Amino acid sequence: MNTKVNIKKLNENAIIPTYQTEGSAGADLYACIDKPITIKAGGNEMITTGLAMEIPTGIVGLIYARSGLACKKGIAPRNKVGVIDSDYRGEIKVALSNQSNEDFTVNNGERIAQIVFTPYYTAQFEGVDSLLDTKRGTDGFGSTGNK
């Protein structure tokens, strides 16, 4: 499935997201920064992309970690998954968290995260006095594992 997403460069040095392979679900987002930014061990920094997007109604842009950066370097989005709503027109930024014990420097043009576009549903919430019973019922965290 393919959808058109209008994209605007807010900075002439911004890099349009790219898919690394034909089967990639996520397009890489690139840092668009004036100078290198060092994220201290255990720290966080907001990294700009220099881009704004016009995501179609009914689609959401989800920002995820790049697996190599997260697994090898401990660098991932602070909020785990960023949500870019279809009515947002501001700059796409990624709050990166350094979960390692070593400082990490982000350079201009570096791939910092990936964005996945997906359709979504909105809910009509309706208050009720009871819910349908299920076999699981109210059993919560870890209740479906081996006992």
**Claim: this prediction has a pTM higher than 0.85:** yes
**Each residue's pLDDT tens digit, 86-142:** 999 999 999 999 999 999 999 999 999 999 999 999 999 999 999 999 988 888 887
Q: Which of 8, 14, 44, 12 is nearest to 28 (CA)?
A: 14
For the chain, the structural domain boundaries read 6-119
Q: What is the CATH number of domain 6-119?
A: 2.70.40.10
- Look at residue 65 and tell me whether its pLDDT is greater than 60: yes
- From the number of C-beta atoms within 10 Å of its C-beta (0-12, 13-18, 19+), residue 38 rates as exposed
